[in-house]
Amino acid sequence: MLIKQVPDIEKVRFDVETGRVDRSSAPAETNPFDLNALETAVRLKEKLGGRVTVISMGPPQAESSLRDALARGADRAILLTDKRFAGADTLATSYTLATAIRKLGSFDLIVCGEKTVDGDTGQVGPEVAEHLGIPHVAYVCEVREVSEDRILVVSDMGDKYLFEVTLPALITVTKDINTPRIPTLRDVLKARRAKVEVWDADSLAGYGETCRFGLQGSMTLVTRITIPSEEGRRGIIFRGEDAVERLIEALRKEGFIP
């Protein structure tokens, strides 16, 4: 199962002048969608046995998210961290994650969150599946059945669709699939002592092309960041007794009321 550490989106600050994102301004947390993915994986383990391995790519401090995942029921945690992984777009990120999964060896199911709250792309899951040559189903809101070689899932694409997928496969899950558990104090303390493995670019060398990692492997480049402007908005506020009358008048001028 794949997770990402992200800044707390309520607290992160954006510099309007320079157009920079100040990640250090906000505490880091696990991407909320990934907690639903982890919960999905842990529930499957509890039902069917097996082991849950969590992989995250990020700076060394992302280790805390992996520890949190261990407290929530994961068995093994691997952090991909290296300067050569930095500056990756979704293509390079997914390639690096897929390479690490190849190094792990065999697996039955990969579970990811639908998207992250910082990148918002939702691309990494399907791209990992493609790199590994396995089928995927996105927007999974329910796992109906699992057997040794198949999984039956409902995908929420506006309307809901039922798919049967041959394992190994990848699914990305929505927030509706479950309510993530709160780890007990005992689990948190146990996870504090557990080992988080750290893999760098060299350790993946035999499993993929290192030139496809990080900035070097990225095909998209952010050239500028702007803050969405509300300039076009009128910002007319009505108060008091005749507020509704004046709103009606405004809506009439805009053509919403005859």
Classify the C-alpha dihedral 118-174-146-40 as positive or negative. Answer: positive
25 binds another protein (CB under 8 A): no
Among 165, 173, 196, 201, binds another protein (CB under 8 A): 165
Q: At residue 187, what is the residue type?
A: D
Footprint on residues 91-150 left by another protein (CB under 8 A) = 91, 94-95, 114, 117-127, 129-131, 134-139
Least distance to another protein, CB of residue 195, Å: 31
Cα-based angle 70, 33, 161 (whole degrees, multiple of 5): 120
End-to-end CA distance of the chain, in Å? 55
Among 48, 104, 162, 205, binds another protein (CB under 8 A): 162
Footprint on residues 57-96 left by another protein (CB under 8 A) = 89-91, 94-95
109 conformational bin, left if phi > 0, alpha if psi -120 to 50, beta if neither: beta
CB neighbours (10 Å) of residue 135?
Answer: 15
Among 60, 105, 158, 206, binds another protein (CB under 8 A): 158
Footprint on residues 216-255 left by another protein (CB under 8 A) = 218-228, 230, 233-239, 243-245, 247-248, 250-251, 254
Least distance to another protein, CB of residue 227, Å: 6
Least distance to another protein, CB of residue 4, Å: 13
Of the pair 50, 119, the CB lying nearest another protein is at 119
Among 175, 188, 194, 198, binds another protein (CB under 8 A): 175
Among 14, 59, 86, 207, binds another protein (CB under 8 A): 14
For the record, the structure tokens of 67 come out as: 């520890």
Size of the site for another protein (CB under 8 A): 81
Least distance to another protein, CB of residue 241, Å: 10
Least distance to another protein, CB of residue 83, Å: 21
Residue recorded with tokens 């639903």: 36
Contact predicate 126/157, CB 8 Å = no
For the record, the structure tokens of 85 come out as: 């992984």
Task: Spell out where 91-217 has E strands.
Answer: 109-113, 136-146, 150-157, 159-166, 169-173, 196-199
3 state SS of 29 = strand
